[in-house]
Amino acid sequence: MKRARKILVVVHCILNANAKVYPLAKVRGVHKEVVKEHLDAGLGLIQLPCPELTYLGTNRWGMTREQYDHSNFRSHCEAILRAAVTEMEAFIRGGYEIVGILGMDGSPNCGVHRTCMGYTGGEIGTGEGIRRQLSQLVMVESQGVFMEVLATLLKGRGIHIPFLAVDEENPCDSE
């Protein structure tokens, strides 16, 4: 019986950077440096679905937390998380340890300690519009929408799993 009975849950783009908003991907595919130590330790991985990719596809713009913070989007997050939360619950009931949920700080959805806020309204356009939008962007100490929905679903089932994060700008520096 070789299994380590330990599992790490990761946000989708840690194992598939193709899900990131263009041009934010820092690697071609898998963040190998982020998962290597966990793989070497024998952990299994659960990959969460990407809420943005499954809602808006690959051609979406970068958006902020308050833009995603809408009841329909939260319902979408709940729907795509249902299977993963059931999977986590099944492992825990089976005596497995889920050592953490690894999010992506800076993301409007997957931020754990830090997320991005700021919306000027209207069309982005080009040049001045983008500069104006970017000038409003701030990082705040808060969870992203998707992580918040996940935390609520877990709490509702009486499950406690620590939330961890890598930094979106430098995913190799885990917190």
Tell me which residue of 86, 91, 10 sits closest to 49, measured CA to CA.
Answer: 10
Q: Residue 41 Cβ, how far from ligand SF4 at the closest point, in Å?
A: 23
Rule CB under 6 A: which of 45-74 touch ligand SF4? Answer: 50-53
Q: Binding of ligand SF4 at residue 109 (CB under 6 A)? A: yes
CA distance 120 to 133: 6
Residue closer to ligand SF4, measured from CB, 24 or 132:
24
Q: Residue 164 Cβ, how far from ligand SF4 at the closest point, in Å?
A: 14
Q: For the chain, where are the E strands, in sequence order?
A: 6-10, 44-47, 97-105, 115-117, 138-140, 163-167
User: Residues touching ligand SF4: how many (CB under 6 A)?
Assistant: 13
Written as six digits, the tokens of 65 are 């937390």
Residue closer to ligand SF4, measured from CB, 5 or 173:
173
